[in-house]
């Protein structure tokens, strides 16, 4: 299962121009419609308090159902293996 949270601003920035943005939107819609194991969420522009302000976090579940996380900042990255911290990160992803 893959879950992606995308900032609305990224979709409205038009990086690369209108054609590139249209291709991006078409691709995201195609992925969302064709793949049952992919969930896309769009973070609205107007949401003053939200998870993710400290930077991106990636979560991974192993085949043995053990969870790990990786948080990334400008000058560092951090592996997260503590079950309590993982639980908090998993809840933050539920918009």
The mean pLDDT values, 10 residues at a time, for the chain of 95 residues are: 83 92 93 88 75 74 92 86 88 64
Q: Can you give the residue ranges of every domain in the chain?
A: 2-43, 57-92
List b or e across 40-60, with b for residues whose CB sees 16 or more CB atoms inside 10 angstroms: eeeeeeeeeeebeeeeebebe
User: 80, 70 in Cβ contact below 8 A?
Assistant: yes
- What is the SS3 assignment for 48? coil
pTM of the model: 0.57
pLDDT of 75 = 81
- What is the SS3 assignment for 92? helix
- What is the SS3 assignment for 67? strand
């Amino acid at each position: 299962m893959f879950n992606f949270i995308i900032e609305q601003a990224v979709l409205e920035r038009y990086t690369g121009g209108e054609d590139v943005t249209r291709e991006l939107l078409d691709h995201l819609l195609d992925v969302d419609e064709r793949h049952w194991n992919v969930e896309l969420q769009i973070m609205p522009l107007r949401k003053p308090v939200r998870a993710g302000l400290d930077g991106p976090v990636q979560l991974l579940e192993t085949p043995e159902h053990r969870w790990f996380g990786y948080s990334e900042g400008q000058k560092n990255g951090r592996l997260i293996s503590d079950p309590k911290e993982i639980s908090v990160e998993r809840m933050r992803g539920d918009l």
